[in-house]
Structure 1
């Protein structure tokens, strides 16, 4: 009977069932997307590993019928990374990269669909100049980790002379066969656990609220069933069946929403992360769990909500004098959560892993505490509110009559903001452990260009100085000197540059072209110091080491009359030791054993100065590696977790907004006749609109206060667990609260047009 009421009860029944199904479906869709996250991460890792092209354990590989030369020619376009590889076959059986059908010839490129679209856009003129190859195909899905990834393969030639194992390598297969690195950092594991708990808890709250849509009308209908002979137990079973029908219909809607979202996910990029729809494949076990848990939760929530409702044949009595909500059991939940987390306080990353069950249980209980305390807080506050304007009085009276409905509407927002505040505190607290100073002096230099093995430094410097947007160029030719041609015991660095550049690397007494300087610092061992101070001693530039490709092994004699220079912090934040040589003091033969490094100070007022530099770098040396300099470096795993949080937060915020709008529309539909009656009696529409805003503003204000309290408490406990000093970034905390308030205000404004349509006297018509 409950199912028939939900699905065959006329317009009233199916509208209510439809609203419930949409509300539940939105939550189910996000749960299914969450169950697909492990699959998505696994597929991305597999694709990344399958196209890996550098195997440092096989640097002694020789040219053969199966060998392939691969050069790393990654680049950037504004703020986007572009993965690039140059390929040169050495044999007919050379391995083909995943996603390619044939090798591109010299002057040809195979690009990802996203890069092809970018190159064809009118805004990418500078990028087209840097990648002038003729596009002969696109990379297949198996060769990409995301639908919006920018990547290309280009035909190469003459790569054999640049093999160094890092920039250019010889391989006979693609794929990384090394075992995956295991995550052992307990603080990162804690971050992952808390992120999942915080992102999924609001979804559960929204599903619980959605199954109670139309509760008051349902109870009035159940009273009619009592009149024809049903007992109290029967009507509760019928209500449970009606709720379960809405939840099952919500599963159908949720599956449809998930399939739509799955396709949409392939066309969007969030915080630099994109996926293909095929990546989002939910785990069958987790999907089955969602399918069983949602209807079961709908029944339990309905039975729990009806515990204080007396349904009699002549009407519904929610107790003649409403009893005040009890506080004591609501406080037990967050206290139990704190009790589960407290044993791990002070554990830090040095005392083993955190107990994941206690972490998840404690965080969930604290967040559930927000959902249970908010109805009590709303009831307690609104019962004490008094007179004011007409809009205020209408809103307050409505809240006094149904404070639970108002609290349910904003419960999900309050839970989400409480979790976001705690996460923000945790991320801010441990960020210093995973974000280190790069040491680079970004005040003096903003970009570095590393030239390849055979590139000429002097012509490159001239081109960079003529590039628009470049203010200053510092250039060095760098190499290593050994005491023997092969497998030297002692090594010492050599840096070649003009006087202006060398002054950025050491404190020179005086300098003119032809001088040679020696810098001794703590990084050089005693044997290197003794060797460097022996004029006439022959050393060898670019010596050969076992297992590495043969090097040039060029002899160089330590000159007499060297000057000693003092060490200073160079552009990279370190101190250079060894020999500093001006260009005239080095033979042309020795110069071929050195590799050029160019450091550039840019003019920030020139648009796209970085891309102009990259174009110059590609022109002077196709194998060059331009790099932007940043003041800090972030751990890759920490950055991945933080990016995942941002993506999840966007999805949860979208769910919050959509579910709130559905909830608001359901409440307005339930009050259609009341609103029409007020308008018929002369109430101004402006007054009714303001009353709706007040009805939303009061609960959300109380919810945000409660979120701040619980979020700060949870954040402090999590920081104490990681043995991190407790510091509250109030600006970020208040920003989180403002985001939650902004979502509710936006949803309320979106509900004003249907509200105005409902506020018409003809809404009183009935049959």
Structure 2
């Protein structure tokens, strides 16, 4: 056969797809819809890296807090910036106070004019929230007048909550680094080496999320296979040989795939516009940021039609198409197991050399990891038809519905397995990822040591703000049960360049008992804490000696140091962990024991015990803190904290898994409808002969439930195997999160049950005797 003849046969198949009557174009449309959904998700996947990079670029371009005050001197081009970030329920709100020091200050990205004192420019999302009924408590906290909006260039996403407000009383470096002087916005990109295990997680996430898409596209190009084969038999009758019939079938599949590319591009453009309207796991992107990488988009455009041709030819390799029919309608030969087992065994062989590598022996070989995981997951699609065939051949159904279902599965077990392959691959990958995430999560999750039984929030009070006033207002806040106020500073043995240093903690007797065990306490008392690792305090804290608060080093101006004489009656006390879990050392002093100048040289912190049964109690605390001073920093305590990179990868997995599950649900629904359409006349005939609709409906449910149960069982086995290998590769103890396994399996089964429920109304419409009518 010449290349020209093969091309003519493919072109004939393309024409048959659109001019072969209703059967031809219906099959082409079904294939195109299925392929289009998969292509749209692939395009979205290739666009995600560019969208994330755009978010990072905009975040870097507006960066203004270096926590180092690089610009020391005031000039015509400098700007004072203060961070007033806050939270509203589960949402982060990015806030900045701006005060220009000259006529040519730098402008934040997305802002055309700096707001005047008392005014602010806001993001569109924050503007909507402030105007809504849900934003009542936030309006009490952010009281500036809105005079404009921040353009897209100044936001990382369309749903980000952000504002810039004008101020007239900012002072750099007077409030724990929350105010700085800058002469430009933006920072240089910083490249930190990625943890090898995090790189492995990213690689596995991409493979696991994309594999079900590829499996689904491969299944979509085989929609309507039985009717297509009957049309091919008619072609044999008019003179086409077997090879020509297969190439024509490949041409039909290629036509559907090409049409699917067009629909996929349309679905992607539609989805890109919708992406700007939704937020998934607090991540939102601008539609303009979702731009697929040109090289990957071109690869998809070439690979999908080529895959359609290859899959069709592979599917027809064992089908004998004769002029009077298709031999496949007879009982098929038993599937062979040996070559199907080679795929998962080969995958394990690629992953085995990296067992025990861990994070201390360099990066994992990305090609071996990718190849090994792909082979294991492809092994699910290869083994499932054999498993379904072997099981249904031995089933002995009882009722009529069971007999109809089992007989149908025995005749077309491959079709039933293809419908389940996508969900089985997704569940297998999800179980493996769940095990891997659960296994390494402890390495990226640290205890905060914060004692939530003693306090649930803390408020840092900057220098220059009265700690006593802040404490009184916080104590009167709705939902606050008790407050503990402490001030902290550092003592030096000299006013400049001290050789020894110690800590000073100021508070009333009740507050000091939160950090030490005191023999007795009255206002005016002082105590010294001893610690085995603290060698400076015994040398410098002696009765009658003068020490200095707010001491200075080279490059810092003198004259602000505060002298304090150690009282003669200072007593010893034993330290205990404070509510943050920190064991303090140095000197403890009650308010009457220090001067007003000394109190002004220390920073305050208020620990809050909350009545968590009060709705929005944390919002009330934040509102009070904002009224005390916009720079007061309330913090919500948690028992653990997690690596931002690890959290970002997990968030990306959740977003991707959501999209894949939506695709799988849509694909199963299309596949189910296609199966019902092919059996329309059979269903109508059974109804015409008196079969009850309830019986037929149950048979369809059994036809779905049995392959799904087998597919989920196989997926669980492969997922557990892959998860175990990945944990051994990361040198992590193997532990099966059975709750996660059950959850992943249940989600997969739930998707199938939901799709089956949606397919019941079309099934009832097809079960009519007039379905036997043929024009």
Structure-1-length-normalised TM-score: 0.98
Structure 2 residue 359 is matched with structure 1 residue 349: yes
Aligned residue for 2:661?
653
Instruction: Please tell me whether the aligned partners of residues 331 and 411 of structure 2 are also in contact (alpha carbons under 8 angstroms).
Output: no
Structure 2 residue 308 is matched with structure 1 residue 298: yes
Task: State the Cα distance separating 1:551 from its structure 2 match.
Answer: 8.1
Structure 2 residue 552 is matched with structure 1 residue 538: no
Residue deviations 1:442-482 (CA, integer Å, cap 9, x gap): 12111111112211000111111111100110111111112
Task: State the Cα distance separating 1:686 from its structure 2 match.
Answer: 1.2
Q: Which of the residues 697, 701, 707 maps onto 1:699?
A: 707
Instruction: Please tell me whether the aligned partners of residues 71 and 183 of structure 2 are also in contact (alpha carbons under 8 angstroms).
Output: no
**Which ranges in structure 2 are unaligned for 5 or more consecutive residues?**
1-11
Task: State the Cα distance separating 1:492 from its structure 2 match.
Answer: 1.4
Instruction: Tell me how far apart the structure 2 counterparts of residues 44 and 486 of structure 1 sit (CA, whole Å).
Output: 45
Instruction: Please tell me whether the aligned partners of residues 36 and 282 of structure 1 are also in contact (alpha carbons under 8 angstroms).
Output: yes
Instruction: Please tell me whether the aligned partners of residues 530 and 537 of structure 2 are also in contact (alpha carbons under 8 angstroms).
Output: no
Aligned residue for 1:21?
32
Instruction: Tell me how far apart the structure 2 counterparts of residues 321 and 669 of structure 1 sit (CA, whole Å).
Output: 22
Q: Structure 1 residues 372, 551: closer, same or farther in 2, change over 3 A?
A: farther
Q: Which of the residues 694, 707, 717 maps onto 1:709?
A: 717
Instruction: Tell me how far apart the structure 1 counterparts of residues 555 and 674 of structure 2 sit (CA, whole Å).
Output: 72
Q: Which of the residues 13, 19, 22 maps onto 1:8?
A: 19
Task: State the Cα distance separating 1:554 from its structure 2 match.
Answer: 1.3
| SS of aligned partner of 2:134 | coil
| SS of aligned partner of 1:96 | coil
Aligned residue for 2:447?
437
Instruction: Tell me how far apart the structure 2 counterparts of residues 406 and 184 of structure 1 sit (CA, whole Å).
Output: 43
Instruction: Please tell me whether the aligned partners of residues 68 and 177 of structure 2 are also in contact (alpha carbons under 8 angstroms).
Output: no
Answer with 566-575 or 328-337: which moved more: 566-575
Q: Which of the residues 596, 610, 618 maps onto 2:618?
A: 610
Instruction: Please tell me whether the aligned partners of residues 162 and 452 of structure 1 are also in contact (alpha carbons under 8 angstroms).
Output: no
Aligned residue for 1:527?
536
Instruction: Tell me how far apart the structure 2 counterparts of residues 547 and 82 of structure 1 sit (CA, whole Å).
Output: 36
Instruction: Tell me how far apart the structure 2 counterparts of residues 604 and 57 of structure 1 sit (CA, whole Å).
Output: 37
Answer with 162-171 or 68-77: which moved more: 162-171
Residue deviations 1:103-151 (CA, integer Å, cap 9, x gap): 0111111111111111111122111000111111111101111111111
Aligned residue for 1:460?
470
Aligned residue for 1:123?
134
Residue deviations 1:648-705 (CA, integer Å, cap 9, x gap): 1101111111111111111111111111111111111111111111111000000110
| SS of aligned partner of 1:710 | helix
Aligned residue for 2:125?
114
Structure 2 residue 163 is matched with structure 1 residue 155: no
Instruction: Please tell me whether the aligned partners of residues 69 and 180 of structure 2 are also in contact (alpha carbons under 8 angstroms).
Output: no
Residue deviations 1:706-744 (CA, integer Å, cap 9, x gap): 011000000000000000000111111111100000000
Instruction: Tell me how far apart the structure 1 counterparts of residues 416 and 559 of structure 2 sit (CA, whole Å).
Output: 76
Q: Which of the residues 264, 273, 280 maps onto 2:283?
A: 273
Residue deviations 1:411-449 (CA, integer Å, cap 9, x gap): 000000000000000000000000000111112111111
Aligned CA RMSD, in angstroms, stands at: 1.3
* Equivalent runs, 1:528-677 vs 2, <5 Å: 528-532=537-541, 534-546=542-554, 552-677=560-685
Task: State the Cα distance separating 1:520 from its structure 2 match.
Answer: 1.7
Aligned residue for 1:742?
750
Structure-2-length-normalised TM-score: 0.97
Answer with 718-727 or 477-486: which moved more: 477-486
Aligned residue for 1:419?
429
Task: State the Cα distance separating 1:528 from its structure 2 match.
Answer: 3.4
Task: State the Cα distance separating 1:166 from its structure 2 match.
Answer: 2.5
Instruction: Please tell me whether the aligned partners of residues 172 and 180 of structure 2 are also in contact (alpha carbons under 8 angstroms).
Output: no
**Which ranges in structure 1 are unaligned for 5 or more consecutive residues?**
none
Instruction: Tell me how far apart the structure 2 counterparts of residues 550 and 176 of structure 1 sit (CA, whole Å).
Output: 32
* Equivalent runs, 1:196-595 vs 2, <5 Å: 196-318=206-328, 320-524=330-534, 526-532=535-541, 534-546=542-554, 552-595=560-603
Instruction: Tell me how far apart the structure 1 counterparts of residues 547 and 661 of structure 2 sit (CA, whole Å).
Output: 64
Aligned residue for 2:92?
81
Task: State the Cα distance separating 1:540 from its structure 2 match.
Answer: 1.6
Aligned residue for 1:95?
106
Task: State the Cα distance separating 1:182 from its structure 2 match.
Answer: 2.6
Instruction: Please tell me whether the aligned partners of residues 162 and 453 of structure 1 are also in contact (alpha carbons under 8 angstroms).
Output: no
Task: State the Cα distance separating 1:152 from its structure 2 match.
Answer: 0.8
Instruction: Please tell me whether the aligned partners of residues 309 and 319 of structure 1 are also in contact (alpha carbons under 8 angstroms).
Output: no
Instruction: Please tell me whether the aligned partners of residues 219 and 418 of structure 2 are also in contact (alpha carbons under 8 angstroms).
Output: yes
Aligned residue for 2:7?
none
| SS of aligned partner of 1:71 | strand
Instruction: Tell me how far apart the structure 2 counterparts of residues 420 and 70 of structure 1 sit (CA, whole Å).
Output: 45
Instruction: Tell me how far apart the structure 1 counterparts of residues 533 and 106 of structure 2 sit (CA, whole Å).
Output: 43
Q: Structure 1 residues 548, 745: closer, same or farther in 2, change over 3 A?
A: farther
Instruction: Tell me how far apart the structure 2 counterparts of residues 97 and 718 of structure 1 sit (CA, whole Å).
Output: 45
Task: State the Cα distance separating 1:489 from its structure 2 match.
Answer: 3.0
Instruction: Tell me how far apart the structure 2 counterparts of residues 530 and 182 of structure 1 sit (CA, whole Å).
Output: 41
| SS of aligned partner of 1:579 | strand
Aligned residue for 2:8?
none
Task: State the Cα distance separating 1:185 from its structure 2 match.
Answer: 0.8
Aligned residue for 2:83?
72
Instruction: Tell me how far apart the structure 1 counterparts of residues 497 and 313 of structure 2 sit (CA, whole Å).
Output: 79
Instruction: Please tell me whether the aligned partners of residues 333 and 366 of structure 1 are also in contact (alpha carbons under 8 angstroms).
Output: yes
Instruction: Tell me how far apart the structure 1 counterparts of residues 193 and 370 of structure 2 sit (CA, whole Å).
Output: 19
Task: State the Cα distance separating 1:165 from its structure 2 match.
Answer: 6.7
Instruction: Please tell me whether the aligned partners of residues 523 and 577 of structure 1 are also in contact (alpha carbons under 8 angstroms).
Output: no
Instruction: Tell me how far apart the structure 2 counterparts of residues 481 and 405 of structure 1 sit (CA, whole Å).
Output: 79
Task: State the Cα distance separating 1:38 from its structure 2 match.
Answer: 1.4
Q: Structure 1 residues 736, 145: closer, same or farther in 2, change over 3 A?
A: same
Q: Structure 1 residues 122, 161: closer, same or farther in 2, change over 3 A?
A: same
| SS of aligned partner of 2:33 | helix
Residue deviations 1:2-21 (CA, integer Å, cap 9, x gap): 11111222222111111111
| SS of aligned partner of 2:316 | helix
Structure 2 residue 45 is matched with structure 1 residue 34: yes
Instruction: Tell me how far apart the structure 2 counterparts of residues 317 and 141 of structure 1 sit (CA, whole Å).
Output: 62
Instruction: Please tell me whether the aligned partners of residues 59 and 165 of structure 1 are also in contact (alpha carbons under 8 angstroms).
Output: no
Instruction: Tell me how far apart the structure 1 counterparts of residues 531 and 301 of structure 2 sit (CA, whole Å).
Output: 67
Answer with 160-169 or 195-204: which moved more: 160-169
Task: State the Cα distance separating 1:320 from its structure 2 match.
Answer: 4.4
Instruction: Tell me how far apart the structure 2 counterparts of residues 93 and 279 of structure 1 sit (CA, whole Å).
Output: 31
Q: Structure 1 residues 183, 689: closer, same or farther in 2, change over 3 A?
A: farther
Residue deviations 1:231-262 (CA, integer Å, cap 9, x gap): 11111111111111100001001100111111
Residue deviations 1:324-354 (CA, integer Å, cap 9, x gap): 1110000000000000000000000011110
Residue deviations 1:488-532 (CA, integer Å, cap 9, x gap): 3322111111111111111111111111111121342x2333112
Instruction: Tell me how far apart the structure 2 counterparts of residues 226 and 547 of structure 1 sit (CA, whole Å).
Output: 93
Instruction: Please tell me whether the aligned partners of residues 677 and 761 of structure 1 are also in contact (alpha carbons under 8 angstroms).
Output: yes
Task: State the Cα distance separating 1:164 from its structure 2 match.
Answer: 5.1
Instruction: Tell me how far apart the structure 2 counterparts of residues 424 and 369 of structure 1 sit (CA, whole Å).
Output: 20
Q: Structure 1 residues 489, 51: closer, same or farther in 2, change over 3 A?
A: farther
Task: State the Cα distance separating 1:54 from its structure 2 match.
Answer: 2.1
Instruction: Please tell me whether the aligned partners of residues 114 and 147 of structure 1 are also in contact (alpha carbons under 8 angstroms).
Output: yes
